[in-house]
Homo-oligomer: A and B are copies of this chain.
Amino acid sequence: MAKAPVLTPQADDFPRWYQDLINKAELADNGPVRGTMVIRPYGYGLWERMQADMDARIKETGTQNAYFPLLIPQSYLTKEADHVEGFAPELAVVTHGGGKELEEPAVVRPTSEMIINDYFSKWVQSYRDLPLLINQWANVVRWELRPRLFLRTTEFLWQEGHTAHATYEEARDFAARIHRHVYADFMENTLAMDVVLGRKTARERFAGAINTLTLEGMMGDGKALQMGTSHELGQNFAKAFNTRYLSKDGKQELVWQTSWGATTRMIGALVMMHGDDNGLRVPPRLAPTQVVVLAIKGDEAVLAKVREIGDQLKAAGLRVQVDDRTDTPFGRRAVDWELKGVPVRIEVGPRDLENGTAMLARRIPGGTSQAFGSGGGKEPVAIDALVGLLPTVLEEDQALLLRQSRERRESRTADVSTIEEAAEAAAAGCWARIPWADLGEEGEAKLAEHSVTVRCLVTEDGSVPDADDAPGNVAIVARAY
């Protein structure tokens, strides 16, 4: 009799597989208020590593972190017309504070454009104050009617960058720099995720932006997920808040602005891009735990050896956990680490000690069920060789994940020339590429009837176009999360 699978297989029911994995790998739980979530320590550990990595990249651009209030006077939201229309239906409103009804209700920030721009208009006086480059790590609330953990939650965590520049060109280049050198580099090199960089159509643009740059990833079921966005805001908010600077020539000029954000949604993307039927697979550069050293039995010599190996690997700069919880059956612990997607397990039992070896199991090339090197399942490795071997193994696994995600996207993207073909491809779990000249806003509206959206526009050679209607633009269309 075959063992019951730990998770609902992806092929049977992808959304249920996702839910099972989040639950069993202890990434998150539903919160008591509809749509909110509890991010459990293992899930939060992934977020902390994402934060640290992105934060360093953001700071390299000269951007500084700050913190703006959670509560925003309701009247602020009305200052930029498109913006308020975009967010009004999603707001959480505080009507009572300190035991009294408030004179003016406050909204819980759905994003901080409004409040940050209010302060920008005070802080920016002269060209000397520009560029003003601010980032915030914060929680935001957008009431969610069809919540799904990490992907669409009423409260989520994110970073939101907000910048003001003297010229259009500077703002444009800064938005592009964040898009390419912060987000794309991070996603490709740390998250091992293939992403397509492009620009949003007018229909999909951020409320208040003149241009939205996006990164789109293909999930395991072929649907698209927007991984992050970087917006050129033009002078829309500058006008709304009258944010002006005295130029070197002594003139009062409006600033040009950008904003850009990435969220805890990336954890959901990590699951859906790299997960398999045995659980999550965490890219080694991201992994809070890269290597777990397991004692198979509670034998004194075994326990001493796993701790010794753990110390050696830590000293070599790896992120290591020692699992000596031998009052829990070994099989259950092994399955649990597999679910959590720790890249490498080193398993040590009494027999291994005699041989001076340990069993090395790699999660990413296929877990315990597949071969690596010459052996089947797991490979015995000399304990003395681990410190030398593991950094190479981890870098190979990192590269493999990126390659697999790229190959999936390439093999599941079809070039089409009609709207019908595009809708068909999307329904079959593929992405379609269609010339924007053949699709246009009308075709885009038609696709929307099939729940298919233009994820982004790219140029023929795959780079980011300068304008929606640039000749040769190609639309990438898909179903999306």
Contact = CB atoms under 8 A, between A and B. Distances in A.
B31 A98 contact: no
Residue among A36, A45, A64, A94 with max Cβ neighbours from chain B (10 Å): A94
Interface stretch (A139-147, A405-413, A424-432, A468-476): A139-147
Give the contact-size bracket for chain A: 35 or more
A96 B89 CA distance: 11
Contacts of A138: 139
Interface in A43-62: 44-45, 47-48
B94 A88 contact: no
A33 B327 contact: no
B128 A325 contact: yes
A106 interface: yes
Given A70-B155, A76-B32, A328-B128, A108 B89 contact: no
A134 interface: yes
Given A65-B41, A118-B32, A96 B92 contact: yes
Contacts of A106: 33, 92
Interface in A97-156: 97-99, 106, 108, 115, 118-119, 122, 128, 134, 138-139, 141, 143-145, 154-155
B96 A33 contact: no
B67 A141 contact: no
A287 interface: no
Contacts of A73: 32-33
Contact of A145 (B66, B98, B143): B98
A71 interface: yes
Nearest to A119: B38
Given A41-B66, A47-B67, A94-B108, 14 more contacts: A29-B119, A31-B115, A33-B71, A36-B71, A37-B69, A38-B67, A38-B119, A69-B155, A70-B70, A90-B98, A92-B94, A94-B94, A97-B154, A128-B328
